[in-house]
Amino acid sequence: MSSTVAPFPEGFLWGGATAANQIEGAYAEGGKGLSIQDVMPKGLMTPRTEGPTDDNLKQVAIDFYHRYAEDIALFAEMGFKTFRFSIAWSRIFPLGDEAEPNEEGLAFYDRVLDELEKHGIEPLVTISHYETPLHLAERYDGWVNRDLIGFYERYVRTLFSRYGHRVTYWLTFNEINSVLHAPFMSGGINTPKDQLSQSDLYQAVHHELVASALATKIARELAPSAQIGCMVLAMPTYPLTPDPDDVMAALTTDRSNLAFGDIHVRGEYPGYYLRHLREAGVELTITDEDRALLKEHTVDFVSFSYYVSICETTDPTKRVTGEGNIFPGVKNPTLQASEWGWQIDPVGLRYVLNTFWDRWQKPLFIVENGLGAKDQLVEVDGQKTVVDDYRIAYLNDHLVQVGEAIADGVDVMGFTPWGCIDLVSASTAQLSKRYGFIYVDRDDDGTGTLERYRKKSFGWYRDVIASRGATL
């Protein structure tokens, strides 16, 4: 493998990404309340359970809650400059609507930040990553209810007051556009999807957008050096054919995702989005104060996850439903797919970086990308490892395209591949869909020692970081 990409910029934030509910475990320790993830034992496609059940792998996950020091040391060994993790809202406010935070929860993240500081790793914190406190879902119907803005505000004030002096990079909501597709997981909306009106759904999105702007406002007050980013699921949409109707259909689908960046960067709803709402019969309550918040508190940077591209066509027989948390679309006949049907498109990443940069002229941060695969633990030279050449190839190809985008003049802040250590998958709720450079010995039935092992990709990524991409 060799490439012609120039060295990545000095200060490029190389690292890895995770989320609390997928790594921490300790679901009922340290005063933590239940989150919606504690009633999602089988993942995204299966209805929630009444209460927590023992078959939920997230109850222990990979036990990061107790092993964070060991894990962060491994990240440091790879040369990470940054580590993306989320704060579990229900560790800080167990119910979500109480007046005072839970000190034990706050102290846990102090310890995580201490450890990162020790290794010179910059924290990248997601404030809300698919883990709304369950009480807010059950009592208020999640983000459908305007009260959630106030609860989120209290949570955010607590975080900025406590950690604002030591955390620069913050993301307000993970994949904020996904609430339209996964209302319970992404928005804590307890009403079943088939009974949820479009007006309630878009109202929930609106509340999250206002809360996101409010977080930026509070950061300016309490943590002036903080950099606030929105986080969207990026999924470029190509026309399936050159038929102009397909080209227009692709633009329309693309805009259903781009709207979220537009609102965060430009501070107002774009005309095409308002038209879509009108035609869908959606009536939103938007106050003057909401409008002012959106307009005055736009983001410093745009972050996104990138896994797949899709196609669009006006021919309805071509539509397929994606597996997992990837939105439905039309398959691209030119691309291969992962074992879960996620189509692999490295050039799409360069395309996204260029279109986002042309559109917003804001620094861009790739905070998720990677290949979920079934790994085989083997012994090489007396060491347990995984020979994950497929993962190396995937990430190598994507990083080459990031290098191309940088050469195109795009301002790219960093790259944090998803699940840098194996974790519980969001869509399947299993461990066998692995993304990591580090293998965690735990299986889908919950058995395993929880020991960590360096995969082949561990050394590959360490070399990429050390050489600033020269080994790609």
Q: How far is the CB of 21 from ligand BGP (least distance, A)?
A: 8
Tokens of 9: 């910029």
Nearer to ligand BGP, 41 or 101 (CB): 41
378 burial via Cβ count (<10 Å: 0-12, 13-18, 19+):
exposed
For residue 307, the minimal CB distance to ligand BGP (Å) is: 7
Residue 310 bridge partners (DSSP): 237
Residue 205 or 426 with smaller CB distance to ligand BGP: 426
Residue whose structure tokens are 């299993």: 430
Point out which span in 158-166, 288-296, 373-381, 420-428 binds ligand BGP (CB under 6 A). Answer: 420-428
The DSSP element (H or E) to which 17 belongs, if any, is strand 13-17
Considering only 418, 439, 458, 461, the residue that binds ligand BGP (CB under 6 A) is: 418
Binding mask 164-183 for ligand BGP (x = CB under 6 A): ----------xx--------
Considering the complex, state which of residue 294 and residue 424 has its C-beta at the smaller distance from ligand BGP. Answer: 424
| Binding flags for ligand BGP, 339-378, as an x/- string (CB under 6 A) | -----------------------------x---x------
87: CB partners within 8 A, 6+ apart = 20, 109, 125, 126, 127, 159
Indicate the SS3 state at residue 158.
helix
140 binds ligand BGP per the rule CB under 6 A: no
Binding positions for ligand BGP, 306-335, rule CB under 6 A? 324-325
**Binds ligand BGP (CB under 6 A): choice among 72, 425, 458, 469:** 425
Please, are residues 299 and 320 in contact by the beta-carbon 8 Å criterion?
Answer: no
Shortest CB 190 distance to ligand BGP, Å? 20
From the list 219-227, 382-390, 407-415, 424-432, the region that binds ligand BGP by CB under 6 A is: 424-432
315 C-beta neighbours (distance < 10 Å), count: 14
Determine the Cα–Cα distance for residues 139 and 122; give it in Å rounded to an integer: 37
229 beta partners: 171, 301
30 lies in the binding site for ligand BGP (CB under 6 A)? no
Q: Which of 211, 184, 253 is nearest to 40 (CA)?
A: 184
Tell me if 385 contacts ligand BGP by CB under 6 A: no
* Contact (Cβ atoms closer than 8 angstroms) between residue 294 and residue 217: no
Nearer to ligand BGP, 421 or 426 (CB): 426
In angstroms, give the least distance from the CB of 213 to ligand BGP. Answer: 21
C-beta closer to ligand BGP: residue 80 or 418: 418
Query: How many residues contact ligand BGP, by CB under 6 A?
Result: 14
Contacting range for ligand BGP; rule: CB under 6 A; set: 64-72, 114-122, 249-257, 426-434:
426-434
**Cα–Cα distance for residue pair 391/435, rounded to 1 Å:** 8
Residue 59 makes contact with ligand BGP by CB under 6 A: no
Give CA–CA dist 445/431, Å, rounded: 9
Query: Minimum Å distance from CB 17 to ligand BGP?
Result: 8
SS3 449: coil
Q: Is 123 in the site for ligand BGP (CB under 6 A)?
A: no
Q: CA 109, 114, 120 angle in degrees (round to 5)?
A: 125
Sequence-distant (≥ 6) Cβ neighbours of residue 309 within 8 angstroms: 235, 236, 237, 238, 332, 335, 343, 345, 348, 351
- Burial environment of residue 278 by CB neighbours within 10 A (0 to 12, 13 to 18, 19 or more): exposed
305 binds ligand BGP (CB under 6 A): yes
Looking at beta carbons only, is 21 or 102 nearer to ligand BGP?
21
Contact segment (CB under 6 A) with ligand BGP among 149-157, 184-192, 195-203, 418-426 equals 418-426
Between 223 and 299, whose beta carbon lies closer to ligand BGP?
Answer: 299
- What secondary structure does DSSP assign to 281-326, as a single string? T------HHHHHHHHH---SEEEEEE---EEE-S-GGGEEPPSSSS
- Minimum CB separation of residue 392 from ligand BGP in Å reads 18
What x-and-dash track marks residues 427-446 binding ligand BGP by CB under 6 A?
x-----x-------------
Task: Find the shortest distance in angstroms from Cβ 63 to ligand BGP.
Answer: 18
Q: Distance between CA 154 and CA 174 in Å, rounded?
A: 18
Which residues are designated catalytic? 368
Q: With respect to ligand BGP, which residue has the nearer C-beta, 145 or 425? A: 425
Residue (of 127, 234, 145) closest to 188 by Cα position? 145
For residue 54, the tally of other CB atoms under 10 A from its CB is 7
**Residues near ligand BGP, by CB under 6 A:** 19, 174-175, 233, 305, 324-325, 368, 372, 418, 425-427, 433
